[in-house]
Amino acid sequence: ETGVTQTPRHLVMGMTNKKSLKCEQHLGHNAMYWYKQSAKKPLELMFVYSLEERVENNSVPSRFSPECPNSSHLFLHLHTLQPEDSALYLCASSQEIRGTNYGYTFGSGTRLTVV
Amino acid sequence: RKEVEQDPGPFNVPEGATVAFNCTYSNSASQSFFWYRQDCRKEPKLLMSVYSSGNEDGRFTAQLNRASQYISLLIRDSKLSDSATYLCVVNIRYGGSQGNLIFGKGTKLSVKP
């Protein structure tokens, strides 16, 4: 497999469920990201991991919990979500060198619907 | 003021037309600039980087004006396959932090036969 792969592609969950989104990159990059894309809004950066350490958390509610066990894998754990959390969740990776991102690549995304 | 602003469109143009998209950014600490393309229900993909000297890739020309904090994308001889949303993206680095990509809402282009 090449590039950035995300699973599942589609997810429907109830507000009391717990689920996880998975992202895997095969590019040898050292940084990974979670973005949220809602209808009629720009992509919103949620979390950044650089060298497996979380370096940014953009005021995301605690019902979203990221995990980066190694430089190739990134998870987003979801619990007690709200209907307004329904969106496309995109994972991305890049090679970060002294603050500049190279080869920024997105996965295909998980389309999440909260019912 | 939004960090990256674009005209949302839609731009509806006939095949063969020339179309221009504009984008402004608010943070003078922005370091690098890109245009991404996003097809319906797909992930964004890098179209081209934007350099201060201006750069061209086939039918696509990108320009950057740092003084005005303005970026443009020109598409010549537009094709049906150019129909997509075009995202203006800047890489902003705050202090010693890692630079992150900040996206505009995108401009929707529809090329008609």
Q: In the 8-state DSSP scheme, what is residue B103?
A: E
* C-alpha to C-alpha distance for A57 and A42, rounded to whole angstroms: 17
B 10-69 residues with CB < 8 A to A: 31-32, 34, 41-46
Mean pLDDT on B22-27: 92
Q: pLDDT, tens digit, for every residue of B64-112?
A: 999 999 999 999 999 999 999 999 999 876 555 556 788 999 999 999 9
Mean pLDDT on A38-62: 82
Would you state the pLDDT for residue A5? 96
Is the confidence at residue A32, as pLDDT, over 70?
Answer: yes
Is the confidence at residue A73, as pLDDT, over 60?
Answer: yes
Q: In the 8-state DSSP scheme, what is residue B82?
A: G
Least Cα distance to B97 among A94, A50, A33, A30 occurs for A50
Q: Which residues, other chains included, contact B72 with Cβ-Cβ below 8 Å and sequence gap of 6+?
A: B20, B21, B22, B23, B62, B63
Would you state the pLDDT for residue B78? 98
Would you state the pLDDT for residue A88? 96
- For chain A, what percent of residues have pLDDT higher than 90? 66
Residues of B in contact with A108 (CB under 8 A): 42-43
Exposure of A67 by Cβ count < 10 A (0-12 exposed, 13-18 middle, 19+ buried)? middle
* C-alpha to C-alpha distance for B38 and B84, rounded to whole angstroms: 6
- For chain B, what percent of residues have pLDDT higher than 90? 69
Residues of B in contact with A96 (CB under 8 A): 98-99
Among B42, B99, B101, beta carbon nearest to A99: B99
